[in-house]
Amino acid sequence: MEGIHAVQIMVVLYLVMFLGCAWCQEVGDEVTAVYIVTMKQAPAAHYIGVLSKSKNILEHDGSGSVNRLEKPSNFSRTDRRYASYIARVHDSLLRKVFRGERYLKLYSYHYLINGFAVLVTPQQAEKLSRRRVVANVVLDYSIRTATTYTPQFLGLPQGAWSRGGGYETAGEGIVIGFIDTGIDPTHPSFSDVAASENPYPVPEHFSGICEVTRDFPSGSCNRKLVGARHFAASAITRGIFNASQDYASPFDGDGHGTHTASTAAGNHGIPVVVAGHHFGNASGMAPRSHIAVYKALYKSFGGFAADVVAAIDQAAQDGVDIISLSIAPNRRPPGIATFFNPIDMALLSAVKAGIFVVQAAGNTGPSPKSISSFSPWIFTVGAAAHDRVYSNSINLGNITISGVGLAPGTENGSIYTLVSALHALNDTTAENDMYVGECQDPSSLNQDIVQGNLLMCSYSKRFVLGLSTIKQALQTAKNLSAAGVVFYMDPFVIGFQLNPVSMELPGIIIPSPDSSKILLQYYNSSLERDRLTNKIVKFGAVACISGGLKANYSYSAPKIMYYSARGPDPADSFLDDADILKPNLVAPGNSIWAAWSSGGTDSIEFLGEDFAMMSGTSMAAPHIAGLAALIKKNFPTFTPSAIGSALSTTASLYDKDGGPIMAQRAYANPDLNQSPATPFDMGSGFVNATAALDPGLIFYLSYDDYLSFLCGINGSAAVVLNYTGQSCGVSATNAIDLNLPSITIAKLNQSSIVQRTVTNIANNETYCVGWSAPYGASMKVTPTHFFVANGERQVLTVFVNATMNSSVASYGKIGLFGNQGHIAMIPVSIIGKILYNATSN
């Protein structure tokens, strides 16, 4: 990709400042916008090693198209000639179409898609769309961002790591590319110094660079952090990019990108110290993997598709093995299918180039069809809780209330008087401040009243919005010499779950309005007031806090978190269901300790800390990216679909106690609103890292299979040609026939026959087949027994018949049980079932 990097980004900044932001938004009375334009000519990734030699790839016919006899072919991934050529073709087209009109090209994409991003008016975009060499013109859209213990919970030290020689070699030689908010290169999780006795190898297949800026000086990269770039041209044209806050460099001013990178591939054994408390030692899933960072998301505004596509294009050209995206679009892509959007189509080309792509499912659950990752070539990851929890409690005598807070308890269980901030005001004028109870301003409170007592503060919506912070309330308590802090939940904060927050002082956050009401009733009933003046003469409520610094491992886990986005996969903007299972899998995503940027502001409570505890599918996806690196190292020839198959067929369906994995169904009181998880909650199940390294059977899919699937979508031929440069022909396939390690039928009209092909990558083995049919359907699988030699394939035929009319989804499974111990599970999901057609009968 010829895009905008360290020097070029400054050119765009200069143009915006010189011409004025008004030019970026308006030309005369016409509003401008960024459009992503794709060309009909295929990108570079489609030609590498495929076509015959060409003597001169720089010749073209002047129309912006490439002569068929001179299509580029015999060049490597690192060959810059084709990139330069494509950029000149794009420039030539723009000059020819606009002839003296103003426009601003932001990027030329060439590796995964052939196209460019340009700032123009809608009328100019229309002109571009009419050119025969132009395939698509799409309006740019916004994007948003969606550990110390999880390696143990996933069994890595005794399982997956030990199989590959221990953590010292786990993921070695594999490069993971992160499309995120950047990275803090000074963090010890990304240092290569600690590995001096066993130095990191230089990944010879990787050709990326490290941008050098004031925020990201020379030497920021090393043998661990092998590449870093940033992409912000689309944001800059909108006039919303703040170079001092967002950093015009790969440096992470948010924290999110540093967190995800260290979760996947952070160094092993890094001490986690927050607020002076030690919470163990951290490690990424693949601690010896290399990290390449492509910053395209920013704290103040999120990101835009044009910048994300540029980042993906560059990552693929640089030679990453895995792409991790903890991001999601802010809307479903319009058009005939959700799969046809610039990001997903760029990722399809990445898969063709052999790159495994992982994406967060999104944090919009628990509603059905809330998934934000759509395409079958993308491995979509939902979030589950692991069994480590930090909880503390407050004892009110006969009543104990549990809460959250990474805080020490009151010393030796000592009892202290409770004093509400509302009853410790300096003067009556503070009573007019409706937020004084949030303890944000020590000057409004009377130290004589607060000193030596437990200060009670209100946790309101302002904390949720970041307008008030726990950190400031703790500082207030510290300034006033309080013995500790108790936060009670405002009754208007409904359906909001708190991450544990680290505190230096004894403290607790009571996370539910109902429990907070019990505390307030006890407190108010214990006040003694003067009968004449009604003034408080004695604070009678007392309490002690038990600390929350030690983890508890008795939690039932894994459990699907309420915020984790759910299937079914929406096939289009009309929310028709696709015959594709989403999410693919779930992984740890709740209360994850990982590295934090020194400039990270995403969570004000961890500002200035080296580690932070975060929750979301953004935290789950890098777990899978790291585990995929372990698989890729163990099986270097595995295709992206093979990696996905290994992870899926070996996933666990049960929690650590042997019961079914549960899924939370509501924001409010989620643990009281849960039921057994379905494939639309958890995909194939919860990741089993050790089993995924020895899957036995593999479900293979190729780029051509995905192309046939896209061609099978009604009315898609022109769109497929526009995005891929390839004609559909007669090789169309329905989604149900994709060789996925799952079966999903959106509408079972009486009966269906589904086939799956498995390939044995282990020793010769005999399998028996078992199944349970979804409610409202019958099912039969043939053969019921089979022998398959190493490297051989076996076709399975599944006959499914509706036994009732129903529009309610139901679920079953198919199990393949080998006599050498291999087990492959295939989830079966059927949504609509039609036993007979009423109109025809």
Which positions are catalytic?
A: 180, 256, 618
> DSSP readout, 70-99?
G---S--TT--HHHHHHHHHHHHHHHHHHT
Please, which residues bridge with residue 228 across strands? 210, 293
Rounded Cα–Cα distance for residues 610 and 622 (Å): 19
Interacting residues of 197 by C-beta distance below 8 A, sequence separation 6+: none
**Helix orientation angle between 305-318 and 342-352, rounded to the nearest 10 degrees:** 10
Instruction: Please state, as a whole number, how many other Cβ atoms lie within 10 Å of the Cβ of residue 811.
Output: 18
Rounded Cα–Cα distance for residues 837 and 788 (Å): 41
Quick one: tokens of 213?
Answer: 């800026």
Helices (H), 650-727: 679-682, 689-692, 703-711, 717-724
Instruction: Please state, as a whole number, how many other Cβ atoms lie within 10 Å of the Cβ of residue 665.
Output: 17
Cis peptide before 201 (omega within 30 of 0): no
> DSSP readout, 402-457?
EEB-B---SGGG--EEEEEGGGSBSSGGGGG-TTGGG---GGGB-HHHHTTSEEEE
In the Cβ-directed half-sphere of 160, how many Cα atoms lie within 13 Å? 32
Helices (H), 99-208: 122-129, 150-153, 160-163
Q: Is 432 exposed, middle or buried (0-12, 13-18, 19+ CB in 10 A)?
A: exposed
- Per DSSP, the three-state class of 831 is strand
CB 447 within 8 A of CB 480: yes
Quick one: tokens of 757?
Answer: 């092909």
CB 146 within 8 A of CB 328: yes
> DSSP readout, 485-551?
EEEEE-TT--S-PPPP-B-SSSEEE---HHHHHHHHHHHHHTEEE-TTT--EEEE--EEEEE---S-
Instruction: Please state, as a whole number, how many other Cβ atoms lie within 10 Å of the Cβ of residue 128.
Output: 21
810 backbone dihedrals φ, ψ, rounded to 5°: -140, 165
325 backbone dihedrals φ, ψ, rounded to 5°: -120, 105
544 vs 399, 470, 537, 540, CA distance in Å? 11, 20, 22, 14
Looking at residue 145, its amino acid is: T
**Helix orientation angle between 342-352 and 703-711, rounded to the nearest 10 degrees:** 150
Interacting residues of 368 by C-beta distance below 8 A, sequence separation 6+: 566, 567, 568, 680
* Rg for the chain, CA atoms, rounded: 29
- Nearest-CA neighbor of 383 among 692, 758, 721, 686? 686
Q: Three-state secondary structure along 158-175?
A: CCHHHHCCCHHHCCCCCE
* Angle CA 193–197–198, to nearest 5: 90
What H or E segment, with its residue span, contains residue 379? Answer: strand 379-385
- Nearest-CA neighbor of 614 among 627, 598, 629, 600? 600
In the Cβ-directed half-sphere of 409, how many Cα atoms lie within 13 Å? 20
